[in-house]
Amino acid sequence: MTVPARDLTPEEFRRLGHAFVDWIADHRDALPGLPVVPPVAPGDVAAALTGPAAAFPGRRLPEAAQPLETLLGEIDRVVVPGSTHWQHPAFFGYFPANASMASLLGDLLSGGLGAQGMLWSTSPAATETEQVLLDGFAHALGLCAAFTVAGGGGGVVQDSASSAALVALLAALHRAAPGWRDTGVDGRERVYVTAETHSSLAKAVRVAGLGARALCVVDAVAGTQAMSPAALADAMAADVAAGLRPVLVCATVGTTGTGAVDPVRAIAPVAAAHGAWLHVDAAWAGVAGLCPELRHVIDGVDLADSFCTDAHKWLLTAFDASLLWVRDATALPAALSVTPEYLRNAASESGAVVDFRDWQVPLGRRFRALKLWAVVHALGLEGLRAHLRGHVAAAVDLAARVRAEPGVVLAAPPTLGLVCLRFTTADGDADDATTRAVLERVNASGAAFVTHTVLDQRYVIRIAVGGVATEAPHVEALWDRLRAEAAAVRGTCVPPQP
């Protein structure tokens, strides 16, 4: 038997590539008819993969080569029925993860070129295209020139907002104590967040060796989930008085739980007064800054040291593409650069180029700007804005329906495409049992998927409108289903639409 000790030939790739593209086109076409979350139990997928006649009998890899087209049958048999379909138009869970088909094609080019962008010299086009695109996005978001290359700052694509927060923290640690690279942390560092700040900040604090004791959870403004600048000032002053060192404040624009927006403009001078780095985590909501009428959500970010928003959530770009800007282009390399001999090169030593390996934790990096470019090319800023506006309008409409409906209330003020609601008793009290039961029934139906949070110790359904294929009718259908399931839980008739 002949063993092909090689990759596909270009001609084989052409033929198979068309088949795989067609599979994806068919899959996206079929998605609305699939359950968003299939009924699958732990171990089901592994069992389907490892049975006697399966792909990996006994969890062993196959010895022999197989025609690649037959993989598609396995995907249909095992993977699709075992997947939560994030690209389904009725996926309203977590935050959206827009894997647009336009971005897939840009990402395919990235794989085709197969460049490593760790140094400028290892692929000049990868680095400079990323810089130009991030400058372009900075302008389109209305960020001040300080965040652009020409302004002495710059943007970089990270894999996730988690990693962006981590490198911001590392830059902050270095700025706060330049001896950090040699002697590490000293146990006096403090990082300021709120109870609603994303868990990636707690993780970054742990990864950076500070321990949970370094995390100061600042109170919210009464009756909201937004950080209180006054409480922040008090906390920082008390810490300084206790001999601790404020290193970083994380302000969130659009918290994961409820979409709360910390008052960045008021927080900035408090952070600055203590020399702390101000990082703005706008992972989900920041892209709304592309629309002038929504730009208020990122008010004040021009005062931050770093600002992050994810193109891979609501901005049509397949994971991973978290956009991070810093005001000082030297800050990340100062904290992160380590240069062994085998990475030395004339371009780096000239000082005329940026080596993005020094802006992130991993050394290797993919040419991620291509998928961003494909999205921008295919939709233009006008298309991106229309995408965002369509979801905001659908969420505004949903919130209006909630307000008009008896027995259900908004659990927090809606932000952009995020609507949080809970069901209530006849007395108007939160009815956790009904809220939870409705969520479980909606999700078990397969017709839609929503997730939850807990706010003021009460169960809340989060509805994140923003899927790459989600349009107003899908939101309307979700609303109808929520009402129907609530009626079923309560044993009542579905009330007429107001």
Q: Which is nearer to its own copies, 281 or 405 (CB)?
A: 281
Question: What minimum distance in Å lies between the beta carbon of 11 and its own copies?
Answer: 7
SS3 35: coil
Q: Which is nearer to its own copies, 179 or 406 (CB)?
A: 179
As a three-state string, the secondary structure of 146-169 is: HHCCCCCCEEEEECCHHHHHHHHH
> Phi then psi for 436, rounded to 5 degrees?
-65, -45
Question: What minimum distance in Å lies between the beta carbon of 61 and its own copies?
Answer: 4
Q: Do 316 and 107 form a contact (C-beta atoms < 8 A)? A: no
CA distances from 88 to 226, 238, 490 (A): 31, 49, 29
What per-residue string of b and e applies to 419-438 under the rule 16 or more CB within 10 Å gives b?
bbbbbbeeeeebbeebbbbb
Question: What minimum distance in Å lies between the beta carbon of 241 and its own copies?
Answer: 21
Q: Which is nearer to its own copies, 1 or 493 (CB)?
A: 1
- Neighbouring C-alpha atoms within 13 Å toward the C-beta of 265: 5
Output the DSSP codes for 475-494: HHHHHHHHHHHHHHHHT-PP
In angstroms, the first-to-last Cα distance of the chain is 71
Question: What minimum distance in Å lies between the beta carbon of 382 and its own copies?
Answer: 4
Q: Which has the closest alpha carbon to 171: 366, 363, 361?
A: 361
Q: Which has the closest alpha carbon to 231: 241, 220, 239?
A: 220
Question: What minimum distance in Å lies between the beta carbon of 36 and its own copies?
Answer: 12
Q: Which is nearer to its own copies, 204 or 231 (CB)?
A: 204
Burial class (CB in 10 A: 0-12, 13-18, 19+), 144: middle
Q: Which is nearer to its own copies, 63 or 427 (CB)?
A: 63
Q: Which is nearer to its own copies, 13 or 299 (CB)?
A: 13
Q: Which is nearer to its own copies, 379 or 487 (CB)?
A: 379
Question: From the CB of residue 312, how many other CB atoms can be counted at a distance below 10 Å?
Answer: 27
Q: Which is nearer to its own copies, 151 or 407 (CB)?
A: 151
> Phi then psi for 360, rounded to 5 degrees?
-150, 170
Question: What minimum distance in Å lies between the beta carbon of 492 and its own copies?
Answer: 27
Q: Which is nearer to its own copies, 229 or 325 (CB)?
A: 325
Question: What minimum distance in Å lies between the beta carbon of 4 and its own copies?
Answer: 5
Q: Do 279 and 258 form a contact (C-beta atoms < 8 A)? A: no
Question: What minimum distance in Å lies between the beta carbon of 345 and its own copies?
Answer: 8
Burial class (CB in 10 A: 0-12, 13-18, 19+), 50: middle
Q: Which is nearer to its own copies, 440 or 494 (CB)?
A: 440
- Neighbouring C-alpha atoms within 13 Å toward the C-beta of 253: 31
C-alpha–C-alpha distance, residues 238 and 433, integer Å: 41
Question: What minimum distance in Å lies between the beta carbon of 126 and its own copies?
Answer: 7
Question: What minimum distance in Å lies between the beta carbon of 432 and its own copies?
Answer: 13
SS3 380: helix
Question: What minimum distance in Å lies between the beta carbon of 188 and its own copies?
Answer: 10
C-alpha–C-alpha distance, residues 125 and 131, integer Å: 10
**What residues does 310 pair with on adjacent strands?**
322
Q: Which is nearer to its own copies, 85 or 274 (CB)?
A: 85
